């Protein structure tokens, strides 16, 4: 049933073979490079025919679960359907062929799309200005925190170096704050899933630069006292950063600016459906309130009359600077642009509605089936958390075991063990593009695994059983490092 | 609409299970005055036929020209198989392989990529990508500073001959960690960074030295001399390389004293120019430094049955585990570009890649000969080249480029803003995509433009 494993491409290599039709002709000229700078041994690349390569990578692809092939309810990642048109239209030959330093006169088409995208993202977030350069959410976060710090410095408030982060935050938040040179201050979350306001009041002060929040939070619930949070932080002189990882829950319904946020990043690969690519590329566009606009990272697309042009440091002398060699992940931005135009005003307002409908339906059905909601009595946002602590205690079957067994049922696992403060958790995000039938099948799988956990727990603990590989030994992977194939067969094992 | 499959009956049945009267009720925890903002600024929906028409029209306005632009983004032949494979839904609509057993395709491709990059650069290990070459340099400098193990060492030497945008990105990102980039001058005659230019820093406390090979001017640096200078002083060396050139050039792992961290832009490996992205930052290092490396890493391990498989490893370096003690904040990387580059390198192999590198080099030499044969055009530097060169004109470059553009030729990059000391300087590039007749056309057009302007 499972597709067979595929040998490493290096094993198919035969000296003298090659996809020769892809190679340029002999250049017919001399190499004028000093001998001492030349390579003596060729790199260990495979020598295979085109068909060898096509079969190899096609077979590799078949070893993956993906949105196109499987339900993929990976919480906090918004694995919705990626419309084919977005991909096809971003890959029109003229868009692909355009050099990043080509004159603006030969880029008015792409610049028009980017300029309109800036405007649409401003509309959705309620922010005054948008920059599209950041190449992933984490880079958007970097830009946001750097701008907050620049703002305080410009006002002479050099002591404001603390970034407050709720304990449930994505790991990128504290990592980003630290990268920006800020001091991270974690605050607890109450039993109801909302930020502990008393702890927040105690945390803010003359050292507060700002707070980083995801709303709805990573706990799958809306932060109900967000306006009070904003008031407390603003009163203390800090700014609010909105981590847009969960924007799909509120897009078209609530704008981060209205909640009091000063800066937001939007993961275009989540809410605006650009493909996740097996780990990227994404895009982390950033939007800001007027006060922060001068600090936006360059470049930005500006418009003068009917002409579009790049804005650079000459236009934005206070910019925090440049985050990519050229203009970030333009191809990803084009996909998001096409997606937003396809959905339009009406479609965008339906996204959050149906994402919430699917999440709450799944929560209701799972609770009815006997699973424990992490935050009972709360509405789910676009995702939900169940805790399998009872199953772990009684059957010694963990959230990881459930996750691996779900793979046997033909579904990608939800996010496991995040957020860290919910024991044995599954963070489940169905997205709006999944049908009721798919959600019902997921519930049926969970119920079936629960039964297996009682009747044959070993079967669950040793899952998966039907995939190309059995459960992999992560501990061994980290202890006996094998990170690269080498021709002499010696794997890269540390000498120590 | 919106790719939502729900029928009215579905919605009704689902609300009944939830126990809600309406979808609106699902948003009841949101304060009422925050809810239901209109999206007045978002246009009405287009259907696929309409958006196809719009995008096709816009693509057509971005007219393709005969281009001699390089400067960090290079036009190469991309085999059709590369994107036919990379855009398979199984690759492009999956995510970071957190569930290794359900992601063996992505993980194995990543492991193969790491192996190829390690071999190309002459290093032992590579990661599963960073965003682009410039941000990879920033990460490399931060990593080098960690390797240095001297928290007070904050100064890094970055030659002025390193890509200006790379230096700008590195400054933007690393300044928050207190790193200070200090510019090392290049030799005006050769375009190289001379070892003598490093001598003033002898005995100074440095966190890292960076070298770009070939440098921004297309000139080949005396990498052994520079690397040895850093190595002898125990200063970590960061190499910035073009992966295509490594089919021909000695890799940083084999430079005298060897590099500690190697980074570069993987775009030349089968990734379209696409106005600047998405591209592919790569990073390789020595095994001893692997725990200081940022980004995802795939490793080979065994499964329950004792058979080989692949998984993400050394995750204790990363933000989702280590949070504010992580080696970087990077999470999502450039995964699909890794797949594309791995297919490209498999199709090229060692011989094909070498042929590409040789063609680039030979064509660029012919380009320089053809253009410097025109009165008023001379080569700026005497140092050996890979596939780019700086030319100096007898007049400002900008109007000349504009005149060439009207003839459907993109004649290179004007260096006036970044290198005013070079006068009327123009950076040109030729890759294997340029034929001799393309080069003749460019030379004829440039000659005509210069002559017309001289006459005027």
pLDDT of residue A489: 73
CA distance A107 to B405: 13
Do both B146 and B259 map to the same domain?
Answer: yes
Do both B320 and B398 map to the same domain?
Answer: no
Please name the residue of chain B whose CA is at the shortest distance from the CA of residue A124: B39
Strands in A268-411 per DSSP E:
284-288, 300-304, 307-311, 372-373, 384-387
Three-state DSSP class for residue A285: strand
Do both A189 and A314 map to the same domain?
Answer: yes
Q: Which residues touch B108 (CB under 8 Å, ≥6 apart)? A: A6, A8, A60, A63, B298, B310
Closest by Cα among A41, A23, A54, A11 to B348: A23
Do both A371 and A440 map to the same domain?
Answer: yes
Rounded (10°) CA dihedral B359, B363, B364, B365:
110
Candidate from A10, A95, A481 with C-beta closest to B59: A95
pLDDT of residue A493: 43
CATH at B430: 3.90.1150.10
Residues of chain B with Cβ-Cβ distance to A366 below 8 Å are none
Chains A & B: contacts with CB separation below 8 Å: 722
Q: Which of A343, A371, A404 is the last residue of a domain?
A: A343
Q: How far is A411 from chain B (nearest CA, A)?
A: 9
Contact A102 B67 (CB under 8 A): yes
Three-state DSSP class for residue A283: coil
Report yes or no: A254 and B37 within 8 Å, Cβ to Cβ: yes
Do both A271 and A419 map to the same domain?
Answer: no
Candidate from A45, A72, A99 with C-beta closest to B410: A99
Contact A277 B335 (CB under 8 A): yes
Query: Does ipTM top 0.90?
Result: yes
Domain membership of residue B205 (yes or no) is: yes
CATH at A438: 3.90.1150.10
CA distance A413 to A445: 11
Q: How far is B415 from chain A (nearest CA, A)?
A: 12
Domain membership of residue A2 (yes or no) is: no
Do both B87 and B215 map to the same domain?
Answer: yes
The burial class, CB within 10 Å (0-12 / 13-18 / 19+), for B349 is buried
Report yes or no: A349 and B53 within 8 Å, Cβ to Cβ: no
Contact A324 B134 (CB under 8 A): yes
Strands in A143-262 per DSSP E:
162-166, 183-187, 208-213, 239-243
Do both A268 and A324 map to the same domain?
Answer: yes
Residues of chain A with Cβ-Cβ distance to B363 below 8 Å are 27
Do both B107 and B147 map to the same domain?
Answer: yes
Look at the block and give the residue holding tokens 């839904």: B89
Do both A168 and A310 map to the same domain?
Answer: yes
Report yes or no: A5 and B104 within 8 Å, Cβ to Cβ: yes
Domain membership of residue A66 (yes or no) is: no
CATH at B145: 3.40.640.10
Domain membership of residue B131 (yes or no) is: yes
Q: Which of B285, B308, B343 is the last residue of a domain?
A: B343
- Which CA distances in Å does A31 have to A41, B249, B306, B376? 17, 11, 49, 27
Q: How far is A393 from chain B (nearest CA, A)?
A: 23
Candidate from A103, A123, A483 with C-beta closest to B39: A123
Contact B303 A469 (CB under 8 A): yes
Q: Which residues touch B166 (CB under 8 Å, ≥6 apart)? A: A325, B72, B133, B134, B137, B212, B240
Report yes or no: A429 and A382 within 8 Å, Cβ to Cβ: yes
CA distance B397 to A19: 41
Do both B167 and B245 map to the same domain?
Answer: yes
Per-residue pLDDT of chain B (456 residues; tens, 9 = 90+): 799 999 999 999 999 999 999 999 999 999 999 987 678 889 999 999 999 999 999 999 988 899 999 999 999 999 999 999 999 999 999 999 999 999 999 999 999 999 999 999 999 999 999 999 999 999 999 999 999 988 888 999 999 999 999 999 999 999 999 999 999 999 999 999 999 999 999 999 999 999 999 999 999 999 999 999 999 999 999 999 999 999 999 999 999 989 999 999 999 999 999 999 999 999 999 999 999 999 999 999 999 999 999 999 999 898 888 888 889 999 999 999 999 999 999 999 999 999 999 999 999 999 999 999 999 999 999 999 999 999 999 999 999 999 999 999 999 999 999 999 999 999 999 999 999 999 999 999 999 999 986 766
* Neighbour count for residue A104 (Cβ, 10 Å): 13
Give the sign of the dihedral formed by CA A73, CA A74, CA A80, CA A81. Answer: negative
Candidate from B247, B303, B314 with C-beta closest to A43: B247
Domain membership of residue A67 (yes or no) is: no
Do both A143 and A36 map to the same domain?
Answer: no
Contact B329 A349 (CB under 8 A): no
Q: Which of B282, B316, B343 is the last residue of a domain?
A: B343
CA distance B279 to B263: 13
Do both B448 and B307 map to the same domain?
Answer: no
Domain that holds residue B120: 80-343
Candidate from A54, A98, A403 with C-beta closest to B273: A98
Probe site for chain A from B33, B79, B90, B246 (most A CB atoms < 10 A): B90
pLDDT in tens, B159-198: 999 999 999 999 999 999 999 999 999 999 999 999 999 9
Contact B276 A494 (CB under 8 A): no
Domain that holds residue A365: 352-477
Domain count, chain B: 2
Do both B132 and B110 map to the same domain?
Answer: yes
Residues of chain B with Cβ-Cβ distance to A6 below 8 Å are 108
Q: Which pair of tokens denotes residue B192?
A: 């190289």
Phi-psi region of A424 (alpha: psi -120 to 50; beta: other; left: phi over 0): left
Strand partners, B377: B393
Q: How far is A154 from chain B (nearest CA, A)?
A: 15
Do both B105 and B243 map to the same domain?
Answer: yes
Do both A240 and A327 map to the same domain?
Answer: yes
pLDDT of residue B64: 85
- A425-428/A415-416 β-pairing: antiparallel
- The phi, psi pair for B47, rounded to 5°, reads -85, 175
Domain count, chain A: 3
Candidate from B131, B302, B353 with C-beta closest to A139: B131
Do both A266 and A365 map to the same domain?
Answer: no
Q: Which residues touch A314 (CB under 8 Å, ≥6 apart)? A: none
Do both B213 and B316 map to the same domain?
Answer: yes
Q: How far is B411 from chain A (nearest CA, A)?
A: 10
Do both B193 and B309 map to the same domain?
Answer: yes
Three-state DSSP class for residue A428: strand
Q: How far is A394 from chain B (nearest CA, A)?
A: 24
Do both A164 and A303 map to the same domain?
Answer: yes
Domain membership of residue B38 (yes or no) is: no
CATH at A201: 3.40.640.10
Residues of chain A with Cβ-Cβ distance to B56 below 8 Å are 89, 92
Do both A119 and A246 map to the same domain?
Answer: yes
Probe site for chain B from A37, A80, A187, A336 (most B CB atoms < 10 A): A37
Q: Which residues touch B221 (CB under 8 Å, ≥6 apart)? A: B161, B192, B193, B211, B212, B213, B214, B215
CA distance A354 to A359: 8
| Half-sphere exposure for B286 (CA within 13 Å, toward CB) | 16
Do both B164 and B278 map to the same domain?
Answer: yes
Contact B249 A38 (CB under 8 A): yes
Contact B81 A50 (CB under 8 A): yes
Angle at B258 between CA B254 and CA B259, to 5 degrees: 115
Please name the residue of chain B whose CA is at the shortest distance from the CA of residue A350: B2
Do both A178 and A315 map to the same domain?
Answer: yes
Residues of chain B with Cβ-Cβ distance to A97 below 8 Å are 64, 75, 272-273
Spans of chain A below 50 pLDDT: 492-496
Domain membership of residue A71 (yes or no) is: no
Contact B6 A341 (CB under 8 A): no
CA distance A264 to A245: 10
Strand partners, A73: none
CA distance A254 to B423: 54
Q: Which of B313, B343, B373 is the last residue of a domain?
A: B343
Candidate from B27, B93, B178 with C-beta closest to A68: B93
Domain membership of residue B229 (yes or no) is: yes
Do both A429 and A283 map to the same domain?
Answer: no
Q: Which of A298, A315, A343 is the last residue of a domain?
A: A343
CA distance B53 to A399: 48
Do both B204 and B295 map to the same domain?
Answer: yes
């Amino acid at each position: 049933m499972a597709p067979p494993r595929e040998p490493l491409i290096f094993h198919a290599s035969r000296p003298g073979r090659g996809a020769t039709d892809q190679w340029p002709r002999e250049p017919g000229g001399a190499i004028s490079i000093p001998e001492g700078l030349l390579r003596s041994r060729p790199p260990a690349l495979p020598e295979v025919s085109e068909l060898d390569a096509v079969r190899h990578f096609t077979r590799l692809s078949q070893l993956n679960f993906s949105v196109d092939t499987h339900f993929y309810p990976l919480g906090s990642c918004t694995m919705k359907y990626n419309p084919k048109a977005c991909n096809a239209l971003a890959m029109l030959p003229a868009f692909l062929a355009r050099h990043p330093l080509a004159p603006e006169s030969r880029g008015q088409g792409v610049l028009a799309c980017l300029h309109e995208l800036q405007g649409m993202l401003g509309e959705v977030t309620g922010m005054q200005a948008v920059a599209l350069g950041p190449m992933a959410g984490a880079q958007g976060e970097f830009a946001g925190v750097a701008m907050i710090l620049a703002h305080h410095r410009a006002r002479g408030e050099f002591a404001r170096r603390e970034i407050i982060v709720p304990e449930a935050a994505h790991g990128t938040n504290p990592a980003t704050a630290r990268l920006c040179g800020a001091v991270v201050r974690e605050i607890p979350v109450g039993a109801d899933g909302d930020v502990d306001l008393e702890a927040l009041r105690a945390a803010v002060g003359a050292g507060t630069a700002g707070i980083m929040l995801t709303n709805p939070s990573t706990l799958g619930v809306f932060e109900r006292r967000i306006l009070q949070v904003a008031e407390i932080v603003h009163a203390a002189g800090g700014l609010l950063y909105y981590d847009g990882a969960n924007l799909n829950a509120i897009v078209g319904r609530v704008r981060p600016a209205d909640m009091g946020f000063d800066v937001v990043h939007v993961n275009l690969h989540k809410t605006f459906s650009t493909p996740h690519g097996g780990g990227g590329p994404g895009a982390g566009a950033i939007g800001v309130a007027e006060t922060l606009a001068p600090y936006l990272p360059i470049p930005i697309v500006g418009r003068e009359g009917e002409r579009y042009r790049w804005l650079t440091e000459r236009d934005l002398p206070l910019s925090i600077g440049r985050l990519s060699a050229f203009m970030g992940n333009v191809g990803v931005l084009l996909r998001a642009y096409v997606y937003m135009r396809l959905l339009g005003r009406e479609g965008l307002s339906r996204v959050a509605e149906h994402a919430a409908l699917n999440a709450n339906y799944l929560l209701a059905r799972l609770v009815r089936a006997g699973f424990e909601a992490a935050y009972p009595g709360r509405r789910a946002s676009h995702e939900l958390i169940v805790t399998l602590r009872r199953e772990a205690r009684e059957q010694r079957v963990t959230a990881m075991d459930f996750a691996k067994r779900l793979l046997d049922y033909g579904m990608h696992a939800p996010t496991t063990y995040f957020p860290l403060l919910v024991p044995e958790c599954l963070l489940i995000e169905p997205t709006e593009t999944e049908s009721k039938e798919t959600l019902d099948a997921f519930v049926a799988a969970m119920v079936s695994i629960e039964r297996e956990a009682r009747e044959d727990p070993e079967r669950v603990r040793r899952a998966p059983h039907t995939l190309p590989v059995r459960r992999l030994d992560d501990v061994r992977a980290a202890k006996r490092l094998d990170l690269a194939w080498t021709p002499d067969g010696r794997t890269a094992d540390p000498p120590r | 609409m919106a790719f939502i499959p729900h029928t009215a009956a579905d919605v009704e049945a689902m609300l009944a299970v939830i126990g809600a009267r309406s979808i609106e009720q699902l948003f009841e925890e949101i304060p009422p005055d925050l809810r239901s903002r209109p999206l007045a600024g978002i246009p009405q929906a287009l259907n696929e036929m309409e958006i196809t028409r719009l995008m096709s029209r816009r693509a057509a306005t971005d007219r393709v020209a005969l281009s001699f632009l390089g400067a960090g983004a290079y036009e190469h032949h991309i085999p059709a198989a590369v994107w036919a494979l990379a855009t398979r839904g199984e690759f492009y609509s999956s995510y970071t392989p957190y569930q290794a057993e359900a992601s063996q395709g992505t993980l194995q491709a990543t492991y193969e990529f790491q192996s190829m990059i390690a071999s190309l650069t002459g290093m032992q290990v590579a990661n599963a990508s960073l965003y682009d070459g410039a941000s990879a340099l920033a990460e490399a400098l931060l990593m080098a500073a960690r390797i240095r193990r001297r928290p007070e060492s904050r100064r890094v030497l970055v030659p002025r001959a390193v890509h200006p945008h790379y230096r700008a990105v590195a400054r933007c990102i690393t300044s928050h960690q207190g790193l200070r980039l200090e510019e090392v001058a290049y030799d005006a005659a050769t375009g190289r960074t001379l070892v003598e230019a490093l001598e003033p820093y002898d005995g100074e406390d440095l966190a890292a030295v960076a070298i770009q090979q070939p440098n921004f001017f297309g000139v080949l640096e005396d990498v052994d001399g520079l690397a040895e200078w850093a190595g002898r002083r125990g200063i970590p060396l960061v190499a910035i390389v073009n992966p295509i050139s490594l089919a021909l050039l000695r890799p940083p792992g084999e430079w005298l004293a060897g590099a500690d961290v190697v980074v570069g832009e993987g775009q030349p490996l089968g990734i379209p120019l696409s106005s600047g992205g998405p591209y592919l930052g790569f990073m390789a290092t020595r095994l001893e430094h692997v725990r200081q490396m940022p980004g995802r890493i795939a490793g080979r391990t065994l499964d329950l049955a004792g058979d080989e498989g692949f998984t993400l490893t050394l995750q204790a370096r990363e933000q989702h585990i280590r949070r504010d003690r992580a080696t970087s904040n990077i999470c999502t990387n450039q995964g699909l570009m890794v797949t594309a580059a791995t297919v490209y390198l498999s199709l090229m192999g060692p011989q094909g890649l070498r042929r590409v590198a040789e063609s680039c080099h030979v064509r660029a030499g012919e380009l320089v000969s053809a253009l410097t044969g025109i009165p008023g055009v001379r080569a700026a530097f005497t140092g050996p080249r890979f596939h780019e060169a700086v030319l100096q004109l007898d007049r400002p470059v900008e109007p000349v480029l504009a005149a060439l553009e009207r003839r459907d030729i993109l004649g290179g990059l004007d260096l006036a803003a970044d290198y005013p000391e070079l006068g009327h300087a123009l950076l040109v590039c030729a890759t294997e995509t340029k034929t001799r007749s393309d080069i003749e056309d460019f030379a004829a057009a440039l000659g005509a433009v210069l002559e017309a302007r001289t006459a005027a």
